[in-house]
Amino acid sequence: MNAPNPERERRAAALSEAYRQGGVGTQYRAKTFKGYIIENEAQQKAMKTLKKYLTTAMNDAWGDDQRRWLLLQGNTGTGKTHLLAASMRAIILSGRRMHRCCYREGGELVRLLKSGAFGKESQVSRPLHQVVHALFGGMDLALIDDLWVTPPKTEYDKEVLFSFFNTLYGSGQPLVMVSNLPLAKWPVGQREMSRIKERTTVVEMMWADHRQGGLI
């Protein structure tokens, strides 16, 4: 039997808590980079880009012109959520110091920010950027899955997401996003689009659905 290792236990507990808070499905809680099967060059490239990005982000080793956000964009079943879950696991369980990393689904992100902004009487009680900062300020990395799966229903929903992007843009924090929707089709204003484009490296994940056996 292994000797007790308080640091390892602390990290395992932090990972469980991050899974719980993010509502990461139980089927994704065992996903690892090792368990991601590489069958084509595009998968190889996606994995390499993601790992390099995470290493840079965790060491805060950005070059002057380096893009601090990453978008995994592609069709269903290509392993995007798998890779987000594996990233969270790798980051929280390893490294010289413990890193704080959080996962949220896009729809849940909007709900969370709105509930942080509204007081009991449904009046805006707190500026959105403060709410974003309170939730993400202490994070070394934010992972946002399935952006735009639930399109913003109201102008306020859009404003909430804009504030999320603008606040993280301002603080220079790293962000990994996942979306089925190509960047050009995102329902954001010109100002947000220009900031997102400036900051984001896009990794296209356009192969066949793994659930369907990976055949096109």
User: Which residues lie near Mg ion (CB under 5 A)?
Assistant: 80-81
Helix extents (H) in 5-123: 6-22, 41-59, 80-93, 106-117
175-179 sheet: strands from edge to edge: 101-105, 141-145, 175-179, 69-74, 200-205
Q: Which CB atom, from 96 or from 211, has the smaller least distance to ligand ADP?
A: 211
Q: Which CB atom, from 43 or from 167, has the smaller least distance to ligand ADP?
A: 43
CA distance 91 to 165: 22
Residue 78 interaction partner, one of ligand ADP, Mg ion, none, beta carbon < 5-8 Å per kind: ligand ADP
Query: What backbone phi and psi angles, to 5 degrees, belong to 128?
Result: -60, -40
Q: Which residue is nearest to ligand ADP (CB)?
A: 79
| Among 19, 22, 24, 31, interactor with ligand ADP by CB under 6 A | 31
Q: Select from 9-17, 30-38, 62-70, 154-162 the region that touches ligand ADP (CB under 6 A).
A: 30-38
Instruction: State the minimum distance, in angstroms, from the CB of residue 67 to ligand ADP.
Output: 22
Q: How many residues line the site for ligand ADP (CB under 6 A)?
A: 14
Residue 129 interaction partner, one of ligand ADP, Mg ion, none, beta carbon < 5-8 Å per kind: none
Q: Does 37 bind ligand ADP (CB under 6 A)?
A: yes
The string of DSSP letters for 102-132 reads: EEEEHHHHHHHHHHHHB-TTSSB-S-HHHHH
Q: Does 22 bind ligand ADP (CB under 6 A)?
A: no
**Strand, helix or coil at 70?**
strand
Q: Which CB atom, from 19 or from 132, has the smaller least distance to Mg ion?
A: 19
Query: Rg of the Cα trace of the chain?
Result: 18
By CB under 6 A, the residues from 76 to 105 that bind ligand ADP are 76-82
Q: Which CB atom, from 97 or from 211, has the smaller least distance to ligand ADP?
A: 211
Instruction: State the minimum distance, in angstroms, from the CB of residue 63 to ligand ADP.
Output: 29
Residue 82 interaction partner, one of ligand ADP, Mg ion, none, beta carbon < 5-8 Å per kind: ligand ADP
Q: Does 211 bind ligand ADP (CB under 6 A)?
A: yes
Query: Angle CA(123)–CA(192)–CA(159) in degrees, nearest 5?
Result: 15
Q: Which burial class, exposed, middle or buried, applies to 216 when counting CB atoms under 10 A from its CB (0-12, 13-18, 19+)?
A: exposed
With a CB cutoff of 8 Å and minimum separation 6, the contacts of 73 are 178, 179, 180, 181, 182, 183, 202, 203, 204, 205
Binding site for ligand ADP (CB under 6 A): 31, 35-37, 43, 76-82, 210-211
